[in-house]
Structure 1
Amino acid sequence: MDHHSTPVSTGSSGVDSAALVLRLVLLLATAFLAGTGILRPLVGQLPRKLWFTVGALGLVSAVLAGVSAATVDVNLVALIIHIVLALAVPVLLRWPSLGRWAALALVVLVVLETSIDGSGIDFAIDTVYVAAAALWFGITLLSAWVPVEQWRSTPLRVGPLSVTLGGLLTLAGVVQLAVSGVGFDRRLYESLFGIAVLVVVLLPAAVSVLSLVLLSRNASLRAYRYGVAGVAVGFVAWSALAAVPQPPPLPVPGVPLLADSTVGGASVPVLVSPQRPGRNLVHFPASSGSDLSAEVEDGTVSPAVARAGAEGSWAEVDLPPGRSTLVVHKGDATTTVDVDAGTDPGPAIADADAPECAEAALGGLVAQKRDVLTSCPSDALSSEDSGSLVKLVEFLTTRKPSAITLVEDRSPRGVQAAKLVRDTAARHGLPVRSDAAADTALVVVSGWADGYLAMSRAAESQRLKPTHQFGLYVAPWLLNGPIVNTVASAAMPLRFDPREQLALSYAVTVGSSFGGESPSLGGFESWLGPQWPEVNGEVQLYAAAQVNAMPMYPTEPHAPGMQAARDYAGQWIPDGTVVPISGVLR
């Protein structure tokens, strides 16, 4: 069985080991070379063996830089500069001042190559760590061949400098730990990134203590020889931080979990909701393919299947209280995802409404929000949707159908919406019925599952005989591809234009974050958060149709007969379009 640990649980997947080792050896050799060049003016005549050592370091650095270009994408200009400087430093040792400048330029290159983030505090601590390590390496190498007593007279006290360098390395490591986002939790020892951060802090700290002890015994120069291994390992760990993926935040009980897993070499996004003890849904996007299933480790395997009105596939798992491991299967391959359901019970979520609730939570997750799931869109009818439904019914009264065919469900939102439709229709003398007829208008205010069933039945009825000739209308929350794409065209009252910038941005964000998933109204609201009321304007009727002859954007014209692409990013309805079909409903 092919078993892969997901980056979500280990934080170490995806690192090309060979390329990483090559890069680390390259940077370490370059740091030794640069440190020696910087300190060269402090030493007079160099022994032949030291010349050969520095020359070998320059050659190794240049060769490995060239080899690395064949394994990873590199900037050609930076590569050429690196090779030239690596070969120039040994040559320029004859001219100490020129060699120092070349070595300083080489240090800058190493800083750029080890940098995790090229700006702000990250760049500053990269500079401190690399420069301090390079100086340590330089003093170690030079003092190994030329006793410090024979160095040129200088205000620089090489012995006590070991304490300063060790302290700077430790301080930079502590700051890196603080800004890494790992925190003081199990990711420090369970992920490769966390272990590397610990190494860059603990080894320099140990070297600093050693330097203090030896300084008190008037043997501080020994600290360089004794501590060079610790500094070198710390430098290697520091250099690896830029290549090792950072572990994601730990799962929080009650916060739906969004994970990027790898199963059998394929990327499989995973959404677990609500991440509470008991029944949970595990959702996979349609792009992840079929033959997916999930289980709690050593539990019952639950196949991922389609759910009415929802995209992708869904598996049901029972999470135990506390931390556990979710196992995802794709064929014979598996991967694991860490989950933490906590001990508190989750919200009561009806089975039919669970996918919509999970999709609403997804909107917050892709916005980097980690809110505990306490309610679902189906728990209550919002004031915005209430007003939209009133406007819809008032619009229908002007069209004068014989009646409204109303489809509802038993959710709190569905009950409230159905009562609102009936009361509004009654005020205008428009009958409301539950059965279909030729001259009625269909209005669906149920959840996703019943909405999908109602629209499927309407499509079949219209295929067989004239039915709902005054149109098919759905509540705003039913703007979802699997529902509206069951018919040729469906209308809904909306307070925002799905073609405008914010709506398109959310559609692109959720699609890129979760395997091409289409947006939902609940997810859009969660994504916007406090900004949601600002998006809600006047009510207009929009039509969702499986055609693409309409402009992609409100102000973008098309030539007569020209169709827009069917697969552009930001679509709210797959292979379809959503356009206004009325002015503002007054």
Structure 2
Amino acid sequence: MDHGSHPVTGSAGLDLAALIVRLVLLPATAFVAGIGLLRPQVETLPRRLGQVTAALGALSAVLAVVSAAAFDVNVVGAVVHALLVLAVPVLTTRRPPAGRWAAIGLLVLLILETALGRSGVEFAVDTVYVAGTAVWFGLAALALARVRTPRLGPLSWTLGGGLALAAAVQLVLSGVAFDRRVYETLFGVALLAALVLPIAATAARRFAVIGVAAAFLAWSAVVALPKPAELPVPGVPLLADAGGAPVLVSPQRPGVNLVHLSAPGSVRAGDGTSVEAVPRPGASGYWAEVELPAGRSELVVGDRVVEVDTGTSAGVPTAAGPDGPECATTALGGLVAGRKDVLTSCPADELSEEDADALRKLVGFLADRKTQSITVVDDTTPRGTAAGRVVREAAAADRIAVRPEGAALVVVSGWARAAAALDGAAAAQREQPAYPFGLYVAPWLLTGPLVNSVASSTVPLRFDPRERAAVSYAVALDNAFPGEAATVTGFRQWLGPEQPAAPRVQLFASAQVNAMPMLPGQPHAPGMDSPGAGPGFFVPQGTVVPVSFPLG
């Protein structure tokens, strides 16, 4: 029975009542199973030991029923547990062989209850620990009752060593064995206790029952205790959980850091002044700039504390400021993929050759359409400056004039400048026939908050946003940071360095589309959700489709 699994995240949550029930139920059940397993090895069972076994069996049965009524526990499993734990004391007195079989069934059920949700090596480790504890309970109880048991000493050392080895394996698998979480968190302390106490109980046989009981209590608590969050690594943007809400800290270096929230809230560094997180142009969610000191410190998000470690090295200047959100969400793509890459640069720091080639081909496409003039929007970042130069040189080569009011708008700036430019274009198009040859954006500008600000825009890409990899990225991103908009640079980071060779450039149109128009405020019919609704869409509430053949 699982007494503490969080229904949303699946991670163990610290429900005190469920934890107390678990810490009484499982050891009592293990004691009863151990006595049932070893009863056929002795001629008679002392009356007092039989009474203790029966009392613990009754207690375990009651707690199993309580678990089914009060917690999210399988009713059938609870009933079977209660029947078996009541049957073992009765059968061990009257028919010891039958009692052993009932004890075996109870032990199997106990292993399943203790190891619920685990598989592979962790399940094997749980099996060893639970079975070893039950047998040791039986041996120690019989020894205290002065019942002759064969080879108690060697068996005790074997069982103690087996339990310690199982705990050591679990400690390594948990990931906390070699850092401070092993002694700074209840989870780590419980695992340490499960490792040390069996050895201590073996050495002090007179107190073996107490030692084994304490070790099994610690082992039972491990599954119910929340697993500690990974320690922050200086220079690696931090994706943390603040009471069920995601928090992104970038670049996690001394100085100004961006803190990204999925909902409105306040942020402060330690005892500093609270800063309200606000929307940023072109980005989804809410953002706050917070000054973090060097080394380990605490970031308070609402009423939750998030540990950060900025180290001592200098940060990345463009990780904050206007281009900070793009930099942070790019790093988020790698974090979602499970990589912990140190942030050394941001997308706005340089123009890649692939993007430069895509922009040249975009200008070539406009020339083929007989576009006479374009308006270019760039900025002063290294990428924006280089992109503006590439577009202007390509336009000059194709005899396209660059004017303040051109026939087409080409935006190659960062998110903040692009948001203003696209908002202005949308306003101009509502008033008069502006940009008759369309609106075009650089590849890194394909993200929902930007392209959804206009009715339609075109972008040169080397991937199809509808392909499996792009959809998988969008789903994984939404799972890790609900409501976060997919980005091209985040997708590249999610794919990682071992990416396949990019295919040829193709133009895609992003548009807000409603295939089944309804009256204002009228909901869609069942099964007729609007395009872009739900997980897996690169641009929410819209569609992205190819509008050209691959460009030569």
Using the size of structure 2 for normalisation, the TM-score is 0.92
Q: Distance in 1 between matches of 2:159 and 2:362?
A: 72
Structure 1 SS opposite 2:305:
strand
Separation of aligned partners in 2, 1:482 and 1:178: 43
Q: CA offset at residue 47 of structure 1? A: 3.4
* 1:146-165 alignment runs, 5 A limit: 147-149=146-148, 156-165=150-159
Pick from 289, 293, 301 the counterpart of residue 320 of structure 1: 293
SS in 2 for 1:370: coil
Match of 2:356 among 386, 390, 395: 386
Which residue does the alignment assign to 2:386?
416
Does the CA contact (< 8 Å) of 1:474 and 1:491 recur in 2? yes
Find the counterpart in structure 1 of residue 524 from structure 2: none
Q: In the aligned structure 1, how far is the partner of 2:437 from the partner of 2:240?
A: 45
* Match 2:169 to one of 172, 175, 180: 175
Provide the rounded CA distance (Å) in 1 between the counterparts of 2:270 and 2:220. 36
TM-superposition CA deviations, 1:423-448 (whole Å, max 9, x none): 11111111122x124xx110000000
Distance 2:411 2:396 in 1: 17
Separation of aligned partners in 1, 2:157 and 2:255: 56
Cα distance in 2 for residues equivalent to 1:86 and 1:314 = 55
Structure 2 CA distance for aligned equivalents of residues 384 and 77 of structure 1: 60
Match of residue 79 from structure 1: 78
Single out whichever of 186-195 and 473-482 deviates more from structure 2: 186-195
Aligned to 1:542, what secondary structure does the other structure show?
strand
Provide the rounded CA distance (Å) in 2 between the counterparts of 1:482 and 1:545: 12
Supply the AA of the counterpart residue of 2:238. L
Computed over aligned residues only, the root mean square deviation of the Cα atoms, in angstroms, reads 2.0
Partner of 1:104, secondary structure, is helix
Q: Paired residue for 2:222, among 233, 237, 241?
A: 241
Aligned-partner residue type, residue 545 of structure 2: V
Q: How far off is 1:565 after superposition? A: 4.7
Structure 2 letter corresponding to 1:538: R
Calculate percent identity across the aligned residue pairs. Answer: 56
Any conservation in 2 of the 1:475–1:493 contact (CA below 8 Å)? yes
Larger mean CA deviation between 78-87 and 536-545 belongs to: 78-87
In the alignment, which of 440, 443, 446 is matched to residue 479 of structure 1?
Answer: 446
Post-superposition shift, 1:76?
A: 3.9
Is this contact kept in 1: 2:250–2:259, CA < 8 A?
yes
Distance in 1 (CA, whole Å) between partners of 2:182 and 2:91 is 43
The residue matched to 2:470 in structure 1 has which SS? helix
Matched with 1:468 is 435
Paired AA for residue 157 in structure 1: R
Deviation at 1:52, TM superposition (A): 2.4
Give how far 1:566 is off. Answer: 4.5
1:241-275 deviations in Å (ceiling 9; x for gaps): 1121211210000000000111xxxx321000000
Match for residue 341 of structure 2?
Answer: 371
Cα distance, 1:165 vs structure 2: 1.8
Per the alignment, residue 211 of structure 2 pairs with 230
Which position in structure 2 is the counterpart of 1:582?
Answer: 548
Please give the alpha-carbon distance, in whole angstroms, between the structure 1 residues aligned to 2:515 and 2:531. Answer: 9
Q: Counterpart of 1:553?
A: none
Matches of 1:450 and 1:320 in 2, distance apart?
30
- What is the rounded CA distance, in whole Å, between the counterparts of 1:539 and 1:68 in structure 2? 60
Question: Do the aligned residues in 1 keep the contact of 2:282 with 2:450 (CA within 8 Å)?
Answer: yes
1:569 Cα deviation after fit:
0.9
Q: Distance in 2 between matches of 1:243 and 1:13?
A: 6
Given that residues 13 and 224 in structure 2 are in contact (C-alpha distance below 8 angstroms), is that contact kept between their aligned partners in structure 1?
A: no
For residues 271-330 of structure 1, the C-alpha deviation after alignment (integer angstroms, 9 at most, x for no partner) is 000000001000012xx2x2x11111111222111111111110001111100000112x
Structure 2 residue runs of 5 or longer lacking an equivalent are: 1-5, 517-526
Q: How does 1:187-198 map to 2 (within 5 A)?
A: 187-198=181-192
Could you say which structure has the greater relative contact order, defined with CA pairs below 8 angstroms and 6 or more residues apart?
Answer: 1
Structure 2 counterpart of 1:270: 247
Moved more, 111-120 or 35-44: 111-120
Find out whether 1:345 has 2:322 as its counterpart. no
Of 223, 232, 237, 1:256 maps to: 237
Deviates more, 1:246-255 or 1:457-466: 457-466
- SS where residue 317 of structure 2 aligns? coil
Q: Which residue is 2:376 aligned to? A: 406
- Residue 584 of structure 1: SS of its match in structure 2? coil
- Separation (CA, whole Å) in 2 of partners of 1:530 and 1:102: 56
Distance 1:345 1:260 in 2: 26
Check conservation: 1:125, 1:172, Cα contact below 8 A.
yes
Residues 1:226 and 1:531: Cα distance change in structure 2 (over 3 Å): same
User: Hey, what's the Cα distance between the residues in 2 that align with 1:119 and 1:295?
Assistant: 40
Q: Does 1:46 align with 2:41?
A: no
SS for the counterpart of 1:352 is coil
Contact kept, 8 Å, 1:548 with 1:566, in 2: the verdict is: no
Deviation at 1:26, TM superposition (A): 0.9
Q: Distance in 2 between matches of 1:203 and 1:45?
A: 30
Is the CA contact (8 Å cut-off) linking 2:295 and 2:309 kept in structure 1?
yes
Mapped pair 1:569 → 2:539: no
Deviation at 1:116, TM superposition (A): 6.3
Query: Paired residue for 1:295?
Result: 268
Q: Which moved more, 1:173-182 or 1:472-481?
A: 173-182
Describe the SS at the equivalent of 2:391: helix
The residue that corresponds to 2:467 in the other structure is 500
**1:227 to partner: Cα distance:** 2.2
2:104 paired residue number:
104
Provide the rounded CA distance (Å) in 1 between the counterparts of 2:480 and 2:286: 16
2: CA distance, partners of 1:16 / 1:581: 54
Cα drift, residue 117 of structure 1 = 5.5
Q: How far off its partner does 1:531 sit? A: 4.1
The code of the aligned residue for 1:187 comes to R
Cα distance in structure 1, aligned partners of 2:473 and 2:70: 36
1:19 Cα offset (Å): 0.9
The residue type equivalent to 2:295 in the other structure is: G
SS at match of 1:325: strand
- Corresponding residue for residue 400 of structure 2: 430
What SS does the aligned partner of 1:241 have?
helix
Match of 2:489 among 518, 522, 531: 522
Other structure's SS at 1:327 match: strand
Query: How big is each residue's C-alpha offset from its partner over 1:534-575, in whole Å with a ceiling of 9 and x where there is no partner?
Result: 4x322221111111439xxxxxxxxxx976455221122222
Q: Which amino acid aligns with 2:547?
A: I
* Structure 1 position 197, deviation (Å): 0.9
Contact 1:116–1:241 (CA under 8 A) maintained in structure 2: no
- 1:186 maps onto 2:186 in alignment: no
TM-score (norm 1): 0.87
Contact 1:542 1:582 in 2 (8 A): yes
1:548, 1:577 within 8 Å by CA — same for their partners in 2?
no
Structure 1: stretches of 5+ with no match in the other structure: 1-6, 211-222, 551-560
Superposed CA offset, 1:6-30 (max 9, x none): x9xxxx9831110111122111110
Cα displacement (A) at 1:378: 1.1
Deviation track 1:455-484 (CA, whole Å, cap 9, x = no partner) reads 011111111222111000000100011111
